[in-house]
């Protein structure tokens, strides 16, 4: 079942007006740029909706502050990610899920649409803001080859990533400062449930007698329910995964970033989509081969996103004439119905995407040029929290997108979005 909804700007003269409320008029007319962020695709409880929206607003403001100061897209998207990582309500940086060993290991990546350079870290411990390490990897790669013609790394993992970060001036952070009361209590709760699940499993396979085998069938059903609870915790908001942001700057450059603490109770060393090339984020400026600049950031079940390379697939889809229809079809055919996920009972994930192009209303004068940004979000999870803002807006807009009542997560999708017109710097 598909839910299709497109929210467009009611007045193209406004900077950016989907979901706009009172008082969201233009601000700082000399600034140009746009940011769209997400606080994970999963389940956002009504009781914590205010907190999720608030962190999205702060992330948008951080990015817009940088854009107003003349920063390029990569710097602005990094600022947004730092804010998202610092929030104890998100599963990235501070407050990340703990792995089986009770440790925090984070993944993050960033991509610059102008240079097409990419930086990523996986299973990284002891760093407060993993996106800063990914950003530094990108920056170092842009400088060119190392001594003796060595190629600089774009993706580092584990201890190697931690040591590289320290050698490049990124300070370590004690593990106890990154864990929160919520993440610790979720870990203890999940550990108890895993112990119960393991006991049930042991009992189920003690005998092969027919009568007991029938009883085992019922026990295995209970085991499956226990495991489902372990995966998400009693509070389903524990299922929230990756956070991310996408940005277009005053020059029309795009950038994307993503950061995650990974699945709860994951195996130590597991690396999710947030660090994989083409899976967690994608950014590419328009060029000879592509008419639109595109940026994508994903969230959800990392294994599903890795096996479908969803970020790259969505970027490619956005080159079609109808962005909304193209994203809808990509989510359906390249994700929910992907041949790489046919064995999965449900496919869980979400994306935020934007595409932009330069428009000139008067062909005789470049002064009338503006950038048209189409932005969308889509998810197969129960909900997804997003925020967006242009550099000319007075405040960020936030929204928790939800699947309609009666639909099933992993089999249905929601899709929404809008249009933003970014004026010339001289406006």
The token pair that represents 372 in the structure block: 């048209």
> In the structure, how many helices (H) and strands (E) does the chain have?
10, 13
Contact (Cβ atoms closer than 8 angstroms) between residue 41 and residue 401: no
Span 34-175+237-422: which CATH code?
A: 3.60.20.30
Over its length of 427 residues, how does the chain's per-residue pLDDT go in tens digits? 444 344 433 233 334 444 333 333 455 556 799 999 999 999 888 888 999 999 999 999 999 999 999 999 999 999 999 999 999 999 999 999 999 999 999 999 999 999 999 999 999 999 999 999 999 999 999 999 999 999 999 999 999 999 999 999 999 999 889 999 989 999 999 999 988 887 787 767 665 444 555 555 554 454 444 444 444 444 443 456 789 999 999 999 999 999 999 999 999 999 999 999 999 999 999 998 899 999 999 999 999 999 999 999 999 999 999 999 999 999 999 999 999 999 999 999 999 999 998 876 655 555 567 889 999 999 999 999 999 999 999 999 999 999 988 999 999 999 999 999 997 544 4
| Enzyme catalytic residues | 242
Question: Domain segments of the chain: what residues?
Answer: 34-175+237-422
Per residue in 152-187, pLDDT (tens digit) is 999 999 999 999 999 999 999 998 899 999 899 999
d(CA 30, CA 33) in angstroms, rounded, equals: 10
Per residue in 194-241, pLDDT (tens digit) is 888 877 877 676 654 445 555 555 544 544 444 444 444 444 434 567
Cα 348 to Cα 15, 37, 235, distances in angstroms? 33, 19, 18
Q: Supply the pLDDT for residue 68.
A: 97
d(CA 272, CA 17) in angstroms, rounded, equals: 34
């Amino acid at each position: 079942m598909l839910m299709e909804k497109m929210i467009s700007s009611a007045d193209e003269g406004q900077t950016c007006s989907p979901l706009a409320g009172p008082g969201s008029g233009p601000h700082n007319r000399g600034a140009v740029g746009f940011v769209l962020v997400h606080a994970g695709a999963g389940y956002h409880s009504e009781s914590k909706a205010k907190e999720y929206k608030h962190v999205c607003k702060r992330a948008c403001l951080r990015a817009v502050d940088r854009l107003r100061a003349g920063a390029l897209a990569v710097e602005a998207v990094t600022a947004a990610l730092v804010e998202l990582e610092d929030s104890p309500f998100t599963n990235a940086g501070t407050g990340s899920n703990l792995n089986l060993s009770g440790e925090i290991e984070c993944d993050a990546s960033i991509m610059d649409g102008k240079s097409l350079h990419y930086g990523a870290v996986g299973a990284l411990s002891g760093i407060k803001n993993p996106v800063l390490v990914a950003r530094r990897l990108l920056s170092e790669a842009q400088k060119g080859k190392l001594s003796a013609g060595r190629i600089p790394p774009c993706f580092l993992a584990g201890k190697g990533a931690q040591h590289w970060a320290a050698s490049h001036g990124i300070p370590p952070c004690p593990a106890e400062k990154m864990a929160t009361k919520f993440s610790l209590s979720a870990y203890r709760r999940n550990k108890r449930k895993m112990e119960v699940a393991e006991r049930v499993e042991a009992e189920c396979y003690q005998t092969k007698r027919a009568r007991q085998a029938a009883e085992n069938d019922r026990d295995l059903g209970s085991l499956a329910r226990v495991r489902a609870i372990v995966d998400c915790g009693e509070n389903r908001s524990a299922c929230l995964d990756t956070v991310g942001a996408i940005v277009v700057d005053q020059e029309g450059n795009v950038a994307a970033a993503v950061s995650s603490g990974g699945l709860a109770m994951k195996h130590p060393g597991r690396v999710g989509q947030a660090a994989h090339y083409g899976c967690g984020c994608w950014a590419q400026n328009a060029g000879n081969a592509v008419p639109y600049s595109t940026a994508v950031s994903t969230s959800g079940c990392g294994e599903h996103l890795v096996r479908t390379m969803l970020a790259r697939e969505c970027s490619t889809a956005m080159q079609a004439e109808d962005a909304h229809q193209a994203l809808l079809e990509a989510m359906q055919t390249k994700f929910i119905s992907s041949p790489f996920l046919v064995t999965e009972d449900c496919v869980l994930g979400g994306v935020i995407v934007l595409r932009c192009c330069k428009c000139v209303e008067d062909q005789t004068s470049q002064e009338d040029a503006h950038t048209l940004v189409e932005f969308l979000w889509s998810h197969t999870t129960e909900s997804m929290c997003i925020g967006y803002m242009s550099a000319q807006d007075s405040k960020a807009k936030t929204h928790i997108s939800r699947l309609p009542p009666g639909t099933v997560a992993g089999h249905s999708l929601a899709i929404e979005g809008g249009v933003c017109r970014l004026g010339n710097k001289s406006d």
